[in-house]
Chains A and B, each alone.
Chain A
């Protein structure tokens, strides 16, 4: 076993050539994941709302986007952006940026489904009551329905973030110097410790993803307790009690 190879290159795994050169390794993986989920959130919010529209010319494009992206392997999507971007922009695009675009568009489709499910989980009465109190559709959506729905969606968002973090390893394929690429570089250079290197890389990913998964489970429990039917029924009973005339 050659664990010294792993320890000698740990800084390269975590930061790449950072102080001397561009950021790489785990730091770049995290940047890609955080950036990807940020853009994916806005894309997903727009397409999720479009998906629920009653107008077919708004709904259909969103369905097409979601179904196409969900049926395509991420690897192919990365190739699409890698080869298409230079032709569309008429200038070369850095690999890291084109994978970031691919991650955002890919995760956006999944976030759109989360947003749709989240909004559908809010009782219809909320929207109806908000509309009948004089709010417009946009006002009712943005200040009544969405705030409640978004809170329920938090665990699913965290899960999506976990799978995006794992997926950033695919940026490897077009030469982005993130954690997996750094590992293969060190492996190609040293040649004598492949199992040790990739096991260490797996553990690094595991620490981050498992931590996030546990957070999501904790949030799920906390949120489901607050919104569970039991609580609501108690609140309703309290309300009913208060309507009864005191003796």
Chain B
């Protein structure tokens, strides 16, 4: 193997700036998508639990369709197809702002929400039925019982699996480079084509991704050890 490693080329000057910029974009797009996917996932699960046939069917087909198609194809669908799908005013607004970033957030959130909805549902099912029944009997409406009694308990159980979904989201966010969002992977690719210092750039990016996932899995383990044991039904 005759490849001379030159770490300084990547760790100093302009290229270091690119990597930091890319990392910040990755964290930003992940953070926004995590919040949105959690919201959407919760809404979908709640609608699915209402026992209204049509709603249930819509939610189930949403979950199955988006879980069983590749994220990359979804990204291209929203990116290239947005002018057909959305009304003109929305498109104009998107073009005026950061179009690629918005599409990235949209596709990541919708994709991950389908997985999160399933996780939350598993959490809700694990809460004994009596919790819902007794809160309904005390006079709360379905929505009130869900949001004050069932969901808070379900979330506590689901947190570890939710966090591993968020980890997947952070890794999946590397796909938005295909539509030109300048995230960490995009930047390393760019450093590779500018300087041929591909291995250094890829190593740094890989280490950064692994660091993120190790830190997060450390917190999951801590959480499991500390809190999960206290929950007993």
Q: Do residues A169 and B72 form an inter-chain contact, with CB atoms below 8 A? A: yes
Q: Do residues B71 and A166 form an inter-chain contact, with CB atoms below 8 A? A: yes
Q: Do residues B210 and A198 form an inter-chain contact, with CB atoms below 8 A? A: no
Contacts A87-B1, A184-B76, A195-B84; is A75 near B68 (CB within 8 Å)?
Answer: no
Q: Do residues B73 and A87 form an inter-chain contact, with CB atoms below 8 A? A: no
The total of Cβ contacts below 8 Å across the A-B interface reads: 113
User: Is B36 engaged at the interface, CB distance under 8 Å to the other chain?
Assistant: no
Partner of A210, one of B68, B72, B185: B68
Q: Do residues A210 and B64 form an inter-chain contact, with CB atoms below 8 A? A: yes
Scoring B2, B73, B171, B206 by chain A CB atoms within 10 A of each residue's CB, the highest score goes to B73
Main secondary structure of the interface of A (DSSP, over half): helix
Query: What sequence of 0s and 1s flags, for each residue 173-200 of chain B, a beta carbon within 8 Å of any chain A beta carbon?
Result: 0110110000001001100100000110
Q: Do residues A213 and B81 form an inter-chain contact, with CB atoms below 8 A? A: no
Query: What sequence of 0s and 1s flags, for each residue 58-82 of chain A, a beta carbon within 8 Å of any chain B beta carbon?
Result: 0000000001101111111001100
User: Is A206 engaged at the interface, CB distance under 8 Å to the other chain?
Assistant: yes
Q: Do residues A202 and B80 form an inter-chain contact, with CB atoms below 8 A? A: no
Interface residues of A in 203-217 (CB under 8 A from B): 205-206, 209-210, 213
Contacts A209-B68, A210-B64; is A194 near B80 (CB within 8 Å)?
Answer: yes
Q: Which residues of B contact A187 (CB under 8 A)?
A: 76, 80
Residue of B nearest to A1 (CB): B84
Query: What sequence of 0s and 1s flags, for each residue 108-146 of chain B, a beta carbon within 8 Å of any chain A beta carbon?
Result: 000000000000000000000000000000000000000
Q: What are 29 pairs between A and B in contact, CB < 8 Å?
A: A70-B213, A71-B210, A71-B212, A71-B213, A72-B206, A72-B209, A75-B174, A75-B175, A76-B185, A76-B205, A79-B198, A83-B199, A84-B199, A167-B70, A168-B70, A172-B72, A180-B72, A180-B76, A183-B73, A187-B80, A194-B76, A194-B77, A194-B80, A195-B84, A195-B85, A198-B80, A199-B81, A202-B65, A202-B73
For the complex formed, measure the closest distance between the CB of A135 and the CB atoms of chain B, giving whole angstroms. Answer: 36
How distant is the Cα of A187 from the Cα of B81 in the complex, in angstroms? Answer: 11
How distant is the Cα of A91 from the Cα of B210 in the complex, in angstroms? Answer: 30
Q: Which residues of A contact B185 (CB under 8 A)?
A: 73, 75-76, 79
Residue of A nearest to B3 (CB): A87
User: Is B6 engaged at the interface, CB distance under 8 Å to the other chain?
Assistant: no
Q: Which residues of A contact B192 (CB under 8 A)?
A: 79, 83
Q: Which residues of B contact A73 (CB under 8 A)?
A: 171-172, 174, 185, 209
Q: Which residues of B contact A87 (CB under 8 A)?
A: 1-3
Q: Do residues A206 and B76 form an inter-chain contact, with CB atoms below 8 A? A: no
How distant is the Cα of A24 from the Cα of B185 in the complex, in angstroms? Answer: 27
Q: Which residues of B contact A173 (CB under 8 A)?
A: 178
Q: Which residues of A contact B (CB under 8 A)?
A: 67-68, 70-76, 79-80, 83-84, 87-88, 162, 166-170, 172-173, 180, 183-184, 187, 194-195, 198-199, 201-202, 205-206, 209-210, 213
Q: Do residues A195 and B68 form an inter-chain contact, with CB atoms below 8 A? A: no
Q: Do residues B70 and A180 form an inter-chain contact, with CB atoms below 8 A? A: yes
Partner of B73, one of A71, A79, A180, A213: A180
Q: Which residues of A contact B199 (CB under 8 A)?
A: 83-84
Q: Which residues of A contact B80 (CB under 8 A)?
A: 187, 194-195, 198
User: Is B74 engaged at the interface, CB distance under 8 Å to the other chain?
Assistant: yes
Q: Do residues A170 and B175 form an inter-chain contact, with CB atoms below 8 A? A: yes
For the complex formed, measure the closest distance between the CB of B57 and the CB atoms of chain A, giving whole angstroms. Answer: 15
Scoring B69, B175, B178 by chain A CB atoms within 10 A of each residue's CB, the highest score goes to B69
For the complex formed, measure the closest distance between the CB of A1 and the CB atoms of chain B, giving whole angstroms. Answer: 8
Interface residues of B in 93-116 (CB under 8 A from A): none
Q: Do residues B210 and A68 form an inter-chain contact, with CB atoms below 8 A? A: yes
User: Is B214 engaged at the interface, CB distance under 8 Å to the other chain?
Assistant: yes
User: Is B202 engaged at the interface, CB distance under 8 Å to the other chain?
Assistant: yes
Scoring A74, A75, A172, A180 by chain B CB atoms within 10 A of each residue's CB, the highest score goes to A75
Interface residues of B in 52-76 (CB under 8 A from A): 64-65, 67-74, 76
Residue of B nearest to A212 (CB): B68
Q: Do residues A206 and B65 form an inter-chain contact, with CB atoms below 8 A? A: yes
How distant is the Cα of A133 from the Cα of B125 in the complex, in angstroms? Answer: 44
How distant is the Cα of A70 from the Cα of B170 in the complex, in angstroms? Answer: 12
Partner of B76, one of A74, A79, A198: A198
For the complex formed, measure the closest distance between the CB of B129 and the CB atoms of chain A, giving whole angstroms. Answer: 22
Using A73-B185, A75-B174 as known contacts, list a sample of 19 further A-B pairs with CB atoms less than 8 Å apart, ordered by residue number in A.
Answer: A73-B172, A74-B171, A75-B177, A76-B202, A76-B206, A79-B189, A83-B198, A87-B2, A166-B70, A169-B73, A180-B76, A183-B76, A187-B80, A195-B81, A198-B73, A202-B65, A202-B73, A210-B68, A213-B67
